[in-house]
Amino acid sequence: MTSRHRSSENAASATADADSLAPRRRTVVKAAAATAALAGPLAAALPARAAGQAPAFLHGVASGDPLPDGILLWTRVTPVPQAVPGSGLGPDTEVSWTVARDRAFTDVVAKGSTLATAASDHTVKADIRGLRPATDYWFRFSAGGTDSPVARTRTAPAADAAVGGLRFGVVSCSNWEAGHFSAYRHLAARSDLDAWLHLGDYIYEYGTGEYGTRDTVVRPHAPAHEIVTLADYRVRHATYKTDPDLQALHAKAPVIAIWDDHEIANDTWSGGAGNHTEGTEGTWAARQAAAKRAYFEWMPVRPALAGTTYRRLRFGKLADLSLLDLRSFRSQQVTTGDGDVDDPDRTLTGRAQLDWLKAGLAASDTTWRLVGTSVMISPFSVGSLPASVLKPLAKLLGLPQEGLALNTDQWDGYTDDRRELLAHLRANAIRNTVFLTGDIHMAWANDVPVDAGTYPLSASAATEFVVTSVTSDNLDDIVKVPEGTVTALASPLIRAANRHVHWVDTDRHGYGVLDITAERAQMDYYVLSSRTEADATAKWARSYRTRSGTQKAERTYDPV
């Protein structure tokens, strides 16, 4: 392909991928000015800048949603010292971008510019097209004579390409206050990632000290209070993007992200959230709109439909990836004695999204069908867990601590959607479906049984790999015991009550690396030495794979 320069209008356009729903531009409306009390904590955390200093790129650069011919680039410019995130302050500033085939920028393939304004919190997105498939590129932004850091990105393989292998980093649940993001640093140190998946809870909405930290806030949130307004959400996103390990990973490979509840509020559903008080915290509609708007401003994510994150990406003939939005359309979670998890009128996905997922899985001609889901699809019964384990587990899952044999925030609370999806996989002989999951702050390797009560005598419809949290509390943190104590007791009991579960680690923090070939899809699980130490080390824990055609997970002793 001949190198080409693209205008800012063309480079920023959002044309639809053949396997995606058509993106739609967000309507940009004027942001309300934030108070000095909101902006102050974040401003204090940023490097000091003298009045009149040139524009700066204090929040790093990022790329996301790779296509065979394109990539979405992101940054945020601080044009003047007063223009801190969420403030509504600062002049319109021209920001240009350059994309090249080499780090020295001697082979430039795309250039363009746009105007960063306070209306979009001075965030910038550029949807670059006309690139080569399966190719590394380097990019940077410039404003007022200042260059951003240089970052690497990579396009997806051509839709019809025979791909030998893919590797994706996989993470979830990163609570700023609970520790440092060492998982991101270790993924950034790799040189073999095609992209990385963030499966939800990229930020947390709570006020300082309000969410699991073992009673020790390692670094306080900004703003200090629970985030509710557009300015609040902007400041919180900005705070996370000052983390050096997160900036390093964004600069190393493109991210493919979906949201879960904490990007909005705990236990979000279509009409509210467990962590939202109507009236006292404004209307749910206003809060949800503010959270989603800030998310799309601050994340390199293409909205498939206005206000949602479900979309599909393809990686040659080897894999396609269906990404779900399991918060925007779901019915309210049931509580004990109030509601029926089997009620067919209740939904997790919404009708349109479930039909889209089923159609995409049936039509797929790739070897592997990956599904990014923010909550666990495999059924989970607590069985005969002792009170010492059941109570902290119930706390982690948000269940009554007297015990309940399911987690109603997961697919267990919406069994008709799960039944319909798994029946669709079986009826259409759709093989090699792998669910990639976060949310639960534990690592799991599961078969996804059609009937858990009769498994393994009955069939498995798919495989599920669940990654643990980057920093968010898991069971040993809640109980406040040494790492591994709870897992030693709970894991055998969980597996005895759930015969489709091959492995569960309830206690450690870390990340995964998904390694895919035509023969198998394998998750390599890595654990951190500490979540509170900035220089925490990482080590491989174990790997599970599913061989092509089997729909079952098996342990392997060959990490890659």
**Each residue of 158-180: pLDDT tens digit?**
999 999 999 999 999 999 999 99
- Is the confidence at residue 37, as pLDDT, over 50? no
Q: Is 483 helix (H, G, I), strand (E, B) or coil?
A: coil
Token pair listed for 546: 């599913």
Note whether 526 and 510 are within 8 A (CB).
yes
| pLDDT score at 9 | 33
User: Of the ranges 6-20, 190-204, 480-494, which one carries the lowest mean pLDDT score?
Assistant: 6-20
User: Of the ranges 15-29, 138-152, 219-233, 427-441, which one carries the lowest mean pLDDT score?
Assistant: 15-29
**Each residue of 365-395: pLDDT tens digit?**
999 999 999 999 999 887 666 666 766 776 6
- Is the confidence at residue 39, as pLDDT, over 50? no
Angle 335-341-344 (CA atoms, 0-180°, nearest 5)? 135
Note whether 179 and 530 are within 8 A (CB).
yes
**At 36, is the pLDDT very low, low, confident or very high (cuts 50, 70, 90)?**
very low
| pLDDT score at 337 | 52
| Backbone φ/ψ region at 441: left (φ over 0), alpha (ψ -120 to 50), beta | left
Note whether 11 and 97 are within 8 A (CB).
yes
| pLDDT score at 32 | 32
**Each residue of 175-210: pLDDT tens digit?**
999 999 999 999 999 999 999 999 999 999 999 999
Longest CA span, the chain = 71
Q: What percent of the chain has pLDDT over 90?
A: 76
**At 270, is the pLDDT very low, low, confident or very high (cuts 50, 70, 90)?**
very high
Q: Which domain holds residue 500?
A: 165-200+309-556
| pLDDT score at 49 | 56
* Average pLDDT, integer, range 455-474: 96
First CA to last CA distance, the chain: 33
Q: Which helix (H) or strand (E) holds 211?
A: none
**Each residue of 308-323: pLDDT tens digit?**
999 999 999 999 999 9
- Is the confidence at residue 362, as pLDDT, over 90? yes
Residue type at position 175: N
Where do we find the tokens 């898991």? 474
Gap between the Cα atoms of 8 and 131, Å rounded: 15
* Closest to 380 in 3D by CA, of 348, 418, 346, 353: 418
Gap between the Cα atoms of 226 and 285, Å rounded: 17
Beta strands 166-171; 195-198: pairing state:
parallel
Is residue 454 in some structural domain? yes
| pLDDT score at 46 | 56
Note whether 439 and 170 are within 8 A (CB).
no
- Answer with the residue of higher pLDDT: 42 or 172: 172
Is residue 506 in some structural domain? yes
| pLDDT score at 11 | 34
Is residue 294 in some structural domain? no
The helices-and-strands tally (H runs, E runs) of the chain is: 11, 24
DSSP structural state of residue 113: E
- Answer with the residue of higher pLDDT: 15 or 298: 298
Average pLDDT, the chain: 88
**At 281, is the pLDDT very low, low, confident or very high (cuts 50, 70, 90)?**
very high
* Average pLDDT, integer, range 77-94: 97
Is residue 409 in some structural domain? yes
Note whether 439 and 200 are within 8 A (CB).
yes
Q: Kindly report the CATH number assigned to the domain that includes residue 187.
A: 3.60.21.70
> How far lies 64's CA from each of 61, 135, 358, 546, in Å?
11, 14, 25, 27
**At 304, is the pLDDT very low, low, confident or very high (cuts 50, 70, 90)?**
confident
Where do we find the tokens 């356009």? 13
Beta partners for residue 433, in sequence order: 369
Is residue 522 in some structural domain? yes
Q: What percent of the chain has pLDDT over 70?
A: 85
Tell me how crowded residue 14 is: count the other CB atoms within 10 A of its CB: 17
> How far lies 292's CA from each of 259, 426, 556, in Å?
9, 35, 40
| Backbone φ/ψ region at 328: left (φ over 0), alpha (ψ -120 to 50), beta | alpha
**At 483, is the pLDDT very low, low, confident or very high (cuts 50, 70, 90)?**
confident
Gap between the Cα atoms of 258 and 260, Å rounded: 7
- Answer with the residue of higher pLDDT: 34 or 206: 206
Note whether 34 and 125 are within 8 A (CB).
no
- Is the confidence at residue 48, as pLDDT, over 60? no
| pLDDT score at 366 | 98
Gap between the Cα atoms of 326 and 262, Å rounded: 12
Is residue 297 in some structural domain? no
* Average pLDDT, integer, range 237-252: 98
- Is the confidence at residue 338, as pLDDT, over 60? no
3-state helix, strand, coil in the chain (%, to 5): 20, 25, 55
Residue type at position 462: A
Note whether 290 and 298 are within 8 A (CB).
no
Is residue 452 in some structural domain? yes
Is residue 220 in some structural domain? no
Positive or negative, the CA dihedral 273, 275, 277, 281 is negative
Gap between the Cα atoms of 153 and 239, Å rounded: 23
Could you give the residue ranges of the DSSP H alpha helices within 375-510? 387-397, 415-427, 475-479, 485-497
Within its chain, how far is the Cα of 516 from the centroid? 19
Q: What is the rounded radius of gyration, in angstroms, for the C-alpha atoms of the chain? A: 22
**At 481, is the pLDDT very low, low, confident or very high (cuts 50, 70, 90)?**
confident
| pLDDT score at 125 | 97
DSSP string covering 495-536? HHH-TTEEEEE-S--EEEEEEE-SSEEEEEEEEES-SS-TT-
Q: How many structural domains comprise the chain?
A: 1
210 burial via Cβ count (<10 Å: 0-12, 13-18, 19+): middle
**Each residue of 545-554: pLDDT tens digit?**
999 999 999 9
Tell me how crowded residue 280 is: count the other CB atoms within 10 A of its CB: 7
Token pair listed for 20: 């995606």
| pLDDT score at 233 | 98
* Closest to 380 in 3D by CA, of 365, 396, 368: 396
* Closest to 510 in 3D by CA, of 170, 84, 281: 170
- Is the confidence at residue 45, as pLDDT, over 80? no
Token pair listed for 312: 């599909």
| pLDDT score at 346 | 94
| pLDDT score at 54 | 86
| pLDDT score at 305 | 77
